[in-house]
Structure 1
Amino acid sequence: MISKPLIEAIVAQYVQPLEGRHGLAHWARVLENGRLLADLTDADLAVVEHFAVFHDACRKTESFDPGHGARGAELARRLHKEGLVPLNEDQLALLTHACEAHTDGLITGDLAVRVCWDSDRLDLGRAGIRPAQGLLCTGAARDSELMQWAGERSLAGHRPDLLATEWGITLKDEIPA
């Protein structure tokens, strides 16, 4: 699980709109996609969860932004040194590789890394892109029902409950219950 102090540290340095296309709702959908895929594949859940909050955490723009994954990986390393990222060195290496290469279109590698990439690719609908089955890395992600479920949530801009329940965050245009 992502701790509130960790999400607060990531959000504090985030320069794009929290409600933006690459913002908190996207991170939360990627987290939910990743949790589901990790359960289906037995991938390392801790790596997958941390990828969700770091992969786009250092974007400078909502459009083409080369190097944003590497910057996210560097943030993960820094916050790991500060004790906010509870991963061992092997897990941290997988996380940082997943962040650095998440826009490269790769489909092979460690299972946890592939699940990370799939969890993000399944949320491409928010940008008007339907994920290509051939660019998904796991059989679980290529399942047509799972692709439809994730795609509908992405297109609708679904805001997972975990934003409030786990992270304690209410986005600007949401009305507190």
Structure 2
Amino acid sequence: MSIMPHDYAAILKAIIDGYTLPLTGYHGLHHWARVWDNGLRVASENGADEEVVRLFALFHDARRVNEHIDPDHGLRGGDLAHTLRGSLVHLDDSRFDLLYEACRLHTDGHTTGDATMLACWDADRLDLGRVGIRPRADRLCTDAARALVPWAQLRAEGDHRVEEVLQCWGW
């Protein structure tokens, strides 16, 4: 459980204030919203911590410096979450560690580990269709994600806007 509720609109504002890429780019706002939605669908099946999954969606690409190869962007996203810890990010140490590690490692190709990190990684991988890649079953972590591939692929390819998530963020 969170120590206190998260103000997602304030978190998003803090992210956007330092975001240097186009908000509508491959790694921007609509991607984060689909990752949020994907992650909650996976979490409902694998028992992941939904609050960590939500925060991962916001932070995992929050400090990319380009739309292509950017090996340290997950680490920078985790570091941003760390700078907001106590003011906007309210997780106890063990849950914050899950968020930080999920962000840091999300592009490393891991497929085993903690259920929450697996849900985070699958949530991001399920949105690969936005860049013309269909997620491979052997590179997904959970059966829940494997079952979602056709649905998620259509949404990613069509740059689907998840209105309920955007509204939750005050967007």
Q: SS where residue 125 of structure 1 aligns?
A: helix
Given the alignment of the two structures, is residue 123 of structure 1 paired with residue 138 of structure 2, yes or no?
Answer: no
Counterpart of 1:136?
A: 140
1:11-160 matches, within 5 Å, as 11-81=16-86, 83-143=87-147, 146-160=148-162
Q: Cα offset for 1:38?
A: 0.9
Identity %, equivalent residues: 48
CA distance 1:45–1:101, shift in 2 (3 Å):
same
In the comparison of the two structures, how many residue pairs are matched?
166
Runs of 4+ aligned structure 1 residues displaced above 6 Å come to: none
1:128-150 CA-partner distances (Å, limit 9, x unpaired)? 0010100100111111xx11111
Cα deviation, 1:5-52, whole Å, max 9, x if unaligned, reads 111111111110001010000000000001111111111001111000
Per-residue Cα deviation, 1:71-96 (whole angstroms, up to 9, x for no partner):
00100111114x20121111110011
SS state at 1:59 partner: coil
2: CA distance, partners of 1:106 / 1:70: 15
**CA distance, structure 1, for counterparts of residue 165 and residue 41 of structure 2:** 17
Structure 1: where are the runs of 5+ without partners?
A: 170-177
In the alignment, is the contact (CA less than 8 A) between 1:107 and 1:136 conserved in 2?
yes
Give the unaligned 5+ runs of structure 2.
1-5
Call closer, same or farther: CA 1:2–1:125 in 2, change over 3 Å.
farther
Aligned to 1:174: none
Deviation of 1:163 (Å): 4.9
- AA aligned opposite 1:159: R
Which deviations, in whole Å up to 9, do the C-alpha atoms of 1:121-168 show, x marking residues without a partner? 00000010010100100111111xx11111100000001103541112
TM-score (norm 2): 0.94
Separation in 2, partners of 1:111, 1:42: 7
Q: 1:59 Cα deviation (Å)?
A: 0.2
Match of residue 167, structure 1, among 147, 166, 169: 169
Letter matched to residue 16 of structure 2: V
